[in-house]
Structure 1
Amino acid sequence: MKKGAGLSEQLALMPNLSGQPPGLQYAPEFISPATEQELVRRVAALPLQPFQFGQYEGKRRVAWFGFQYDYTLRRLQDADPIPEWLSPIIGQVEAFGGPDIRIGQVLCTEYEEGVGIGWHRDKPHFDKVFGLSLGSACKFRFRRAAGVKWQRFTLDAQPRSLYMMTDASRQVWEHSIPAVAALRYSITFRTMVGRRS
Structure 2
Amino acid sequence: MDALIPRPRAEVAPGAVHVPDWLDFDEQRRLVEACRGWRGYRQTRLPNGGVMSVRTVCLGWHWYPYRYSKVTDDGSPVLPFPGWLGDLGRRAVGSPSYEPDIALVNFYDSATKMGMHQDKDEASLEPVVSLSLGDACVFRFGNTSDRGRPYTDVDLRSGDLFVFGGESRLAFHGVPRVFPGTADPGLGLVGRLNITLRVSGLS
Q: Residue 116 of structure 2 contacts residue 172 of structure 2 at CA under 8 Å; is this kept in 1?
A: yes
Residue 24 of structure 1, CA deviation: 0.4
Quote the offset at 1:83 in angstroms.
5.0
Task: Quote the residue 2:74 is aligned against.
Answer: none
Q: Give the structure 2 partner of residue 52 of structure 1.
A: 45
8 Å CA contact 2:10–2:19 kept in 1: the answer is no
Q: Give the match for residue 103 of structure 2.
A: 106
| Shift in CA distance, 33/76, structure 1 to aligned 2, threshold 3 Å | same
Q: Which amino acid aligns with 1:82?
A: P
Identity rate, percent: 21
CA distance in 2, matches of 1:101, 1:146: 26
Is the CA contact 1:69–1:76 (under 8 Å) kept in the aligned structure 2?
yes
From 186, 189, 192, the counterpart of 1:184: 192
1:8-48 per-position Cα deviation (integer Å, ceiling 9, x unaligned): xxxxx96234xx21110122222221221222233134331
- Secondary structure in 2 matching 1:168: helix
Shift of 1:175: 0.5
Deviations 1:117-142 (A, max 9, x none): 00100124153211100012111112
Distance 1:82 1:29, change over 3 A: farther
Q: 1:76 aligns with which of 68, 92, 99?
A: 68
How many residues matched? 175
Deviation at 1:93, TM superposition (A): 1.7
Structure 2 unmatched ranges of 5 or more: 1-6, 72-77, 181-190
For residue 52 of structure 1, report the CA deviation from its aligned partner.
2.6
Distance 1:27 1:145 in 2: 22
Displaced runs of 4 or more, over 4 A = none
Residue 69 (structure 1) shift: 2.8
Change (3 A) 1:76 1:37: same
Equivalent residue letter for 1:187: I
Asked if structure 2 preserves the Cα contact closer than 8 Å seen for 1:14 and 1:25, the reply is: no
Shift of 1:76: 1.9
1:89–1:68 CA distance, 2 compared to 1 (3 A)? closer
Deviates more, 1:29-38 or 1:176-185: 29-38
Per-residue CA deviation, residues 43-98 of structure 1 (Å, 9 max, x unaligned), is 13433111232333211111011112322xx43211424354xx334312213311
RMSD value over aligned CA atoms? 2.5
SS in 1 for 2:143: strand
Structure 2 equivalent of residue 174 of structure 1: 172
Q: Equivalent residue of 1:69, what SS?
A: strand
2:23–2:160: 8 Å Cα contact kept in structure 1?
yes
Measured after TM superposition, the shift of residue 185 of structure 1 is 0.5
Which of the pair is proportionally richer in strand?
1
1:105 CA drift (Å): 0.4
State the alpha-carbon separation in 2 of the partners of residues 78 and 166 from structure 1: 25
CA distance in structure 2 between the aligned counterparts of 1:53 and 1:44, rounded to whole angstroms = 25
Corresponding position: 1:193 with 2:201: yes
- What is the distance in 2 between the residues matched to 1:92 and 1:21? 23
SS class of match (1:25): strand
Aligned twin of 2:9: 15
Of 51, 61, 76, which residue of structure 1 is paired with 2:55?
61
State the match for 2:129 in structure 1: 130
Aligned residue in 2 for 1:10: none
